[in-house]
Amino acid sequence: MSQADGLIVIIDYGSGNLRSAEKAFARQAKGRPVLVSGEPDEVRRAAHIVLPGVGAFGDCAQGLRAIGGMVEALNEAVMEKAIPFLGICVGMQLMCRHGLERAAPQSPHDGLGWFDGQVRALNVPPALKVPHMGWNEIAIHQDHPVIAPLDGEDVYFVHGYGAAMAAAAQGDIAATTDYGGPVIAALARDNMIGVQFHPEKSQAAGLGLIERFLEWRP
């Protein structure tokens, strides 16, 4: 299978609800092959790449780097070849420079560094529970063909940490949600999209995002 086949690769690095993600993407793939794989060579052949993620930032980063050549394959496909990429939940967080979950501030976990942001614990009023779990409405900040149609839609979140962007990277914020203040719900730049929510659990709104992503040719 190759990029010419429209191959969709969901990266398996020991994190994420891969079965539900695979089912959701297969449903919207319109006959295109969907492959769950931890092989860097499959990532290089992909026409669209998906990085899911459930759990702690550091564990997920370690799991991704434990696959020999995977980070190099991702950088080649996404940063050099500009293959469309979607990070989901911790997958979005890993697109940032650093993560502070289970780390000292002076020695954070390294992410992929594609977005100039740091992943920090949610800072919410005491009346609100952490993790932020359940349905919440999102507001759009970019006129992005994949994300903009979700303006005002409810999507499903499960997270206790969120991205905080550097001053120069505020333009990469594609959507926010309100949880005791603005929380980044999506990031986007060039061929890269990250969503903090779970499209595979967000019913029609999430399936619509998946369909638009798979049709997207940035």
| Structure confidence at residue 97 (pLDDT) | 97
Tell me how many domains the chain contains.
1
Q: What is the pLDDT of residues 169-209, one digit of tens each?
A: 999 999 999 999 999 999 999 999 999 999 999 999 999 99
pLDDT at 101: 87
User: What is the average pLDDT across 22-32?
Assistant: 97
Please give the pLDDT value at position 104: 76
Q: Is the pLDDT of residue 144 over 60?
A: yes
C-alpha triplet 193, 199, 202: angle, nearest 5°: 150
User: For the whole model, what pTM was predicted?
Assistant: 0.96
CATH number for the domain including 113?
3.40.50.880
Local confidence band at 3 (pLDDT 50, 70, 90 cut-offs): low
Mean pLDDT of 126-145: 97
CA distance 132 to 134: 7
Cβ atoms 100, 120 nearer than 8 A: yes
Place of tokens 């999507």: 155
Question: Catalytic residue positions?
Answer: 89, 198, 200
Query: What is the span of the domain harbouring residue 203?
Result: 3-215
pLDDT band per the 50, 70, 90 thresholds, residue 5: confident
Backbone angles phi, psi at 25, to 5 degrees: -70, -40
pLDDT at 16 over 70: no
Residue 189 · residue 96 · CB < 8 Å: no
Grade residue 107 by pLDDT with cuts at 50, 70 and 90: confident
Residue 11: its pLDDT value, please? 97
What's the pLDDT score for residue 105? 75
User: What mean pLDDT do residues 64-76 have?
Assistant: 97
Q: Residue 165 has what pLDDT? A: 98
Determine contact, residues 24/200, Cβ cutoff 8 Å.
yes
Q: What percentage of the chain carries pLDDT values higher than 70?
A: 97
pLDDT for position 2: 57
Give the tens place of pLDDT for each residue, 93-106. Answer: 999 999 998 777 77
